[in-house]
Amino acid sequence: MTALKNDRFLRALLREPVDTTPVWMMRQAGRYLPEYRETRAKAGDFLSLCKNTEFACEVTLQPLRRYELDAAILFSDILTVPDALGLGLYFEAGEGPKFHKTVRTEQDVANLPNFNAKSDLDYVMNAVSTIRSALGGQVPLIGFSGSPWTLATYMVEGGSSKDFRFTKQMMYAQPEVLHALLDRLAVAVIDYLNAQIDAGAQAVQIFDSWGGALAHREYIEFSLNYMQKIVAGLQREKDGRKIPVILFTKGGGQWLEPMVATGADAFGLDWTTPLNVARQTVNGRAALQGNLDPATLYGSPDSIAKATKAMLDDAYAHGEKTGYIANLGHGITQWVDPANPKVFIDTVHEYSAKYL
């Protein structure tokens, strides 16, 4: 494989020295970019975009042509795994992802088919290897998956949910059924992420989008324990280089202490946790990533720069020299002016130099 020209993202994840703070954005390939909307229109629909190697590669590279980003992230969706398990993923206009089948009983869990990432999700692996080659060592490529808890909520509810009625009913009334489902998903995610690493992913992130909906004890039991199982099962080195693992629980900043015990290399934060407090909690045991409110990018260039500088001041308040990756606290939204992320990204690179 081609040598990396810019590895500061990987170095920061492993708390190694960097020349400036690395930055990327969750959902950086997305609807806020006119070129993305054009490619999606050519594909016909979102799933076709994900499953077409050429299109998936193209949209992954689009934000790197506009901005000085320090990482690319595979263009795909967290729900590819449940889809491969036979639930029938589709997207309803204005309503988000839905499944033709749900998993709500012990028998439903038992009926889930065996899963092999390399064969069942070969289009994802083709995209990873194609993107990695197209990057030519420009920046590292991030692979990803949803967490078992987050995937389970979609599988049990049949789509997005605000109250997770059926999943929480299962959790409190039939916890053994939910545990059986989560265990199946943890094994599948290990296979899925290891297959992405084999195909060329140089770091992986687990998106625990709905972990923050859990009570504090239930978060440990039904979400974090399964992410810990995944971390323990991942390939952590390839081609003589470590493969860092990032856990991101939206709404999960209060669980940083138990998160550290998982052995992951880094933890993503949403905008509700002060970075200086998070750095103090982690105390050099892992890297942190985040956590600008995505809505900040609706502001003026001056207000975006001001908020970014304040975030960086928090990140380096305790004198650390590395172990921090700038990012948004969640995905960039479709209504952002494409000129505004450049202010965020350039401010990160220019302003952080004084701390390093």
Count of domains for the chain: 1
Catalytic residue, chosen from 154, 192, 219, 324, is 154
For 333-353, write each residue's pLDDT tens digit: 999 999 999 999 999 999 999
Domain assignment present for residue 231? The answer is: yes
Residue 27 annotated as part of some ligand binding site:
yes
Domain assignment present for residue 330? The answer is: yes
Tell whether omega for the bond before 340 is within 30 degrees of 0, i.e. cis.
Answer: no
Sign of the C-alpha dihedral, residues 325, 209, 177, 186?
negative
Is 192 one of the annotated active-site residues of the chain?
Answer: no
As beta bridge partners, residue 207 has 146, 248
Domain assignment present for residue 227? The answer is: yes
Is 77 one of the annotated active-site residues of the chain?
Answer: yes
CA distances from 126 to 132, 180, 247, 251 (A): 10, 30, 24, 33
For 210-268, write each residue's pLDDT tens digit: 999 999 999 999 999 999 999 999 999 999 999 999 999 999 999 999 999 999 999 99
Is 154 one of the annotated active-site residues of the chain?
Answer: yes
**pTM greater than 0.75:** yes
Is 27 one of the annotated active-site residues of the chain?
Answer: yes
Q: How far apart are CA 184 and CA 121, in angstroms?
A: 17
Res 272: pLDDT: 97
- The CATH number given to whatever domain includes residue 247 is 3.20.20.210
Res 96: pLDDT: 87
Looking at every residue in the chain, the average pLDDT score rounds to 97
Domain assignment present for residue 3? The answer is: no
Domain assignment present for residue 1? The answer is: no
For 38-48, write each residue's pLDDT tens digit: 999 999 999 99
Average confidence (pLDDT) over 10-34? 98
Res 1: pLDDT: 60
In contact, 321 and 17? CB cutoff 8 Å:
yes
Domain assignment present for residue 88? The answer is: yes
Res 145: pLDDT: 98
In contact, 206 and 224? CB cutoff 8 Å:
no
Q: Is the pLDDT confidence value at 159 over 80?
A: yes
Helix orientation angle between 165-173 and 148-157, rounded to the nearest 10 degrees: 110
Q: How far apart are CA 57 and CA 35, in angstroms?
A: 13
Catalytic residue, chosen from 15, 40, 104, 184, is 40
Q: How far apart are CA 34 and CA 338, in angstroms?
A: 8
Residue 28 annotated as part of some ligand binding site:
yes
Residue 29 annotated as part of some ligand binding site:
yes
Domain assignment present for residue 12? The answer is: yes
Question: 210 is written with which tokens?
Answer: 């709905």
Longest CA–CA span in the chain (Å) reads: 58
Res 206: pLDDT: 98
Domain assignment present for residue 98? The answer is: yes
Average confidence (pLDDT) over 18-24? 98
For 82-129, write each residue's pLDDT tens digit: 999 999 999 877 778 999 999 999 999 999 999 999 999 999 999 999
For 287-309, write each residue's pLDDT tens digit: 999 999 999 999 999 999 999 99
Structure-token match 């952002």, residue found: 336
β-bridge pairing 266-268 and 203-208: unpaired
Is 241 one of the annotated active-site residues of the chain?
Answer: no
Residue 263 annotated as part of some ligand binding site:
no
Res 40: pLDDT: 96
β-bridge pairing 241-242 and 237-238: antiparallel
Owning domain of residue 328: 8-355
Going along the chain, which residue ranges are E strands? 72-73, 89-92, 96-99, 141-146, 203-208, 237-238, 241-242, 245-249, 266-268, 287-292, 324-328
In contact, 69 and 63? CB cutoff 8 Å:
yes
Q: How far apart are CA 292 and CA 57, in angstroms?
A: 27
In contact, 156 and 174? CB cutoff 8 Å:
no
Residue 198 annotated as part of some ligand binding site:
no
Average confidence (pLDDT) over 313-335? 97
Show Cβ contacts of residue 185 under 8 Å, excluding neighbours closer than 6 positions: 81, 148, 151, 152, 226
